[in-house]
Structure 1
Amino acid sequence: MGSVAALYRYPVKSMLGEAVSVATVTESGIRGDRSHAVLDGTGAVGSAKHPRKWGELLRCRSVRGDNGSVRVVLPDGTALEAEDPELDARLSELLGRKVFLSATLPEHGRLERAVPEYEGGVPDVVRRSASVDATGTSITTGSVAAGTFFDFGRLHLVTTASLARMRAVHPAGDFDARRFRPNLVVDTDGAPGFPEDAWPGSRLRVGEALFRVVVPTPRCVIPTLGHGELPPDPGIMRAVAREHRVPVFDLGRLSCLGVYLDVLEAGTVRVGDTTTLC
């Protein structure tokens, strides 16, 4: 069916991550992925899904050492270990309020999402329940996946076919895979369209690991933001909303690109590994 074109992990939620050639997949996802998050005193989990409040996190990069340590590279190039008390002070300065880096999920952690103007960005029922916060942003509030800093599935996959399709229908857009923050980029050998639309409910063997394909991935505003050297591109998600709105559970037709995966069998995954639907 295809092969692994790229592997990514993001040690700190909503910071830039790192490309890796080999990843250890556990029952909880790729080892070291979203092991930490930036929190504030209200219990909010730092997510660039609310760009006015947390978007500056995308100017930072997080990397994981061989010994499991996490290091954050700040916008000015300063690199600090997760345990360094100076890091909290620097992140607070960057975000304009007191925040701290944590590997522990707060008891009542909240995830805030800006409501996009385009249709299909959030379910209609959720849009109707949105409220305007102190930043002047219309937001919805939910929770992260139980016991984790993930939004939903344990891994996120995008295909080269979907990215190619979007480039074809919106040539002005920058559909670099990194904008969509995948763990796995799968080269589908020239398959047309959005082949992953047919995968939910299937099993996917990737290297030694086995996954269950859960659901298409609804997209938020994050792909439109600047990611390191990738500049902002506000047209990205409007194009996805025009081209690819698909049913997600009972939430209606949402703007999607990629799929969420859960882990059935742990194992090692490498760039170049074959991917096979079971």
Structure 2
Amino acid sequence: MNGVVGTVDQVSVYPVKSLAGRTVAEARVEPAGLVGDRAWAVVDATTGERVTVKTTPELAEVVATGDDEADTITLTEVLGRPVRLQRTSAEAPQVDAAAVHLVSRSAIDRAAGGDVPAGCSADDPRANLLLSLDGDEDERAWVGRSLRIGEVELTVTRPPKHCLGVYAEVRTPGRVRPGDPVELLS
């Protein structure tokens, strides 16, 4: 099917990798992903090793405030060990798989019914764009296809191994907002 297949319900960024995200009224999407998404990483202050939610699940409960000093103090208290925030760079990207993570409400419903990839959290899919899709539309069928969402054009690359939805790369940067149509391109 081509044409409009749904709308954007929610736009989220995760300023610090592995921490809880926050919804935003709009986001600028660049080739590397949503501006401000995973711009910081938590690093062990002693070893310099990156601390992730896979090894330290408590991270997912912390919401970054944007105040680096306060966030560092909170994380150190929550984790019970000294950590620091480190700005990410083009040389050390924090996006593990793709620039944009899309998840539909129907994927969340499927997960509630038991269709959940191993290791996935259906409660927190960590999506950048949460979508409402029409009818029986399934974003997993979009792999290899292109989408226009707001001003942004994306190419869907693959479903995640341990997550709901699909990953996409940015073909045309721009802005995306809740309410923007999701158009499957031919």
**1:88 partnered with 2:69:** no
Instruction: Tell me which of 38, 41, 51 is aligned to 1:37.
Output: 41
3-state DSSP of counterpart to 1:164:
helix
**1:99 partnered with 2:107:** no
Distance in 2 (alpha carbons) for counterparts of 1:61 and 1:90: 10
3-state DSSP of counterpart to 1:268:
strand
**1:27 partnered with 2:22:** no
1:90 is displaced (CA, Å) by 4.2
Distance in 1 (alpha carbons) for counterparts of 2:92 and 2:86: 13
1:87 is displaced (CA, Å) by 4.5
Partners of 1:161 and 1:190 within 8 A in 2: no
**1:166 partnered with 2:114:** no
> Which residue matches 1:189?
134
> Which residue matches 1:58?
60
Partners of 2:160 and 2:167 within 8 A in 1: yes
3-state DSSP of counterpart to 1:88:
helix
Distance in 1 (alpha carbons) for counterparts of 2:42 and 2:107: 31
Instruction: Tell me which of 140, 143, 161 is aligned to 1:200.
Output: 143
Cα deviation per residue 1:180-215 (whole Å; 9 max; x = unaligned)? Answer: 1100111112326xx122111111110000111011
Distance in 1 (alpha carbons) for counterparts of 2:114 and 2:58: 30
Q: Paired residues, what number?
A: 176
3-state DSSP of counterpart to 2:102:
strand
1:218 is displaced (CA, Å) by 1.4
1:44 is displaced (CA, Å) by 2.6
Distance in 1 (alpha carbons) for counterparts of 2:76 and 2:7: 41
3-state DSSP of counterpart to 2:143:
coil
> Which residue matches 1:150?
95
Distance in 2 (alpha carbons) for counterparts of 1:28 and 1:217: 17
Alignment of 1:110-259 (within 5 A): 147-169=92-114, 179-191=124-136, 195-219=138-162, 256-259=163-166
In structure 2, list runs of 5 or more residues that go unmatched. Answer: none
Distance in 2 (alpha carbons) for counterparts of 1:26 and 1:100: 27
Distance in 1 (alpha carbons) for counterparts of 2:159 and 2:83: 32
> Which residue matches 1:266?
173
TM-score, normalisation: structure 2: 0.84
In structure 1, list runs of 5 or more residues that go unmatched. Answer: 64-70, 72-80, 106-144, 220-255
Distance in 1 (alpha carbons) for counterparts of 2:122 and 2:73: 32
Amino acid at match of 1:181: R
3-state DSSP of counterpart to 1:179:
coil
Partners of 2:64 and 2:71 within 8 A in 1: no
Distance in 2 (alpha carbons) for counterparts of 1:19 and 1:165: 23
Q: Percent identity?
A: 37
Distance in 2 (alpha carbons) for counterparts of 1:216 and 1:263: 16
Shift >6 Å, 4+ stretches: none
3-state DSSP of counterpart to 2:64:
strand
**1:48 partnered with 2:53:** yes
3-state DSSP of counterpart to 1:25:
strand
Structure 1's 216 and 87: CA in aligned 2 closer, same or farther, altered over 3 A? Answer: closer
> Which residue matches 1:9?
13
Larger Rg: 1
The answer to which structure, 1 or 2, has the higher relative contact order (CA under 8 A, 6+ apart) is 2
1:176 is displaced (CA, Å) by 9.1
Distance in 2 (alpha carbons) for counterparts of 1:176 and 1:189: 24
Amino acid at match of 1:6: Q
> Which residue matches 1:75?
none
Distance in 1 (alpha carbons) for counterparts of 2:86 and 2:129: 25
Cα deviation per residue 1:210-237 (whole Å; 9 max; x = unaligned)? Answer: 1110110111xxxxxxxxxxxxxxxxxx
TM-score, normalisation: structure 1: 0.58
Distance in 1 (alpha carbons) for counterparts of 2:13 and 2:122: 13
